[in-house]
Amino acid sequence: MRKITIVGAGQSGLLLGLGLLKQGYTVKMVTDRTPEEVVQGTVMSTQCLFHTALEAERKLELNHWEKDCPQIRKIQFCATAPESRGEKIIEWTGYLDHYAQSVDQRIKFSAWMKEFETLGGTLEIRKIRSNELEELSQNADLVVLATGKGLNDQIRSKNLQRSPFNAPQRVLSLLYIQHPGQGTKMEQVFFNVIPGVGEYFVMPVLTEHGPAEAMLFEAIPESPMDCFSAIDSEEDRLLEAREFLKEYLPWEHQRLISASLLKGKSSLQGQITPAVYHPVIQLDSGQQLLAMADAACLNDPITGQGSNNATKAAEVYLDSILKRSDQPFDQQWMEATFEASWQQVQWATQWSNMMLMPPPEFVLGLLGAAGQIPELANRIANAFDDPADLFPWFADEKAAAEYLQNLTT
């Protein structure tokens, strides 16, 4: 059987590794943290997976938390007035055709890493530097780079046509909270937009300590929401979050009254420059590596698509490796494999990048109309599962007008 090495035990690397093991491949995974370090580490994401991605996990029988994890049945959208703080101008609820779920990546990844070893995979704990990639590629038929944001840009070159930004468009602040003794009653993702300031999301998450809630602030740099970076203490970040929400989203502040921080390292700060990279990495020796998921296409989490993309990419890569049988994993095959995954991921990328820009009038019109037209609200909500369904009508003024007209006549 062919030998595959995967660098990075995250959403895509683990799914691919476990999928290959189940097909009898010899798989080595090199990653920078032990399962114990992952589970005790900092929160990493809000990681909400929608139906298609959940189905991919189910297909590989890796949905171990499905019964315990809160089911997310709807998206509750709200936009505030640009000129008056705390006043809603758009509000609607879109119902998902199938539920979504968010399992804290710390429990998921650590459990999958252990399962990977139980199934016979070789797990090596080592932080890979770019000069160590040669050695990995000499000992495998294929090396897949699934390091997320991890390995530096020196080895990856940007696809400039597919990468419209040169700098982060949001400052991210993530906090996990609990309502002690109450778990969470939440069964939706709350998606709040404050024009010119940023976006705020809250959703239920299954953690090591039971159901909790993840709060994600997507601040436009230097806006009033960009108020967390200078704060070191997690408790003080929660205090700041309360102050901010009281002023800008008072209905969200209400929900925090009984909340406290989740035990452990429950807060993350960061910034992401969205970028699509050339997926084939050429080493000095002439050997080539294939990048997958965030290592090939990194989006800001504004539309919550990264883990979904990573799951879909792992499914495409698994299928492509299996179909390749014993033929060489050459450059042409690598490029075709990435392009097959790009066929899906491009829509999430386009949508995420659109949402980072000030919305054009016609998009505001669509979002506003969803308050009166439940079919439209449901369609936007279900686009979190299948972003391709937003195109062209969500991105093109003429198509938007035609679609709205069809809906209302």
Site of interaction with ligand FAD (CB under 6 A): 7-13, 30-33, 45-48, 127-128, 146-148, 150-151, 172, 174, 216, 268, 270, 293-295, 301, 304-308, 310
**What is the rounded radius of gyration, in angstroms, for the C-alpha atoms of the chain?**
21
Closest-by-Cβ residue to ligand FAD is 10
Contact (CB, 8 A) for 351 and 387? yes
* 373 φ/ψ sector (left φ>0, alpha ψ -120 to 50, else beta): beta
- Torsion of Cα atoms, 76 then 81 then 85 then 87, to 10°: -60
| CA 87 vs CA 222, 247, 352: distances in Å | 22, 10, 25
Shortest distance, CB of residue 173 to ligand FAD, whole angstroms? Answer: 8
Shortest distance, CB of residue 172 to ligand FAD, whole angstroms? Answer: 5
Tokens standing for residue 194: 């404050």
Tokens standing for residue 405: 């007209």
**Closer to ligand FAD by Cβ: residue 15 or 400:** 15
CA proximity to 190, closest of 201, 179, 198, 199: 201
**Closer to ligand FAD by Cβ: residue 198 or 304:** 304
Shortest distance, CB of residue 43 to ligand FAD, whole angstroms? Answer: 8
**Closer to ligand FAD by Cβ: residue 305 or 349:** 305
**Closer to ligand FAD by Cβ: residue 178 or 308:** 308
**Closer to ligand FAD by Cβ: residue 147 or 178:** 147
| Strand, coil or helix: 187 | coil
Shortest distance, CB of residue 372 to ligand FAD, whole angstroms? Answer: 28
Shortest distance, CB of residue 87 to ligand FAD, whole angstroms? Answer: 27
CA proximity to 200, closest of 95, 304, 53: 304
**Closer to ligand FAD by Cβ: residue 143 or 370:** 143
Shortest distance, CB of residue 129 to ligand FAD, whole angstroms? Answer: 7
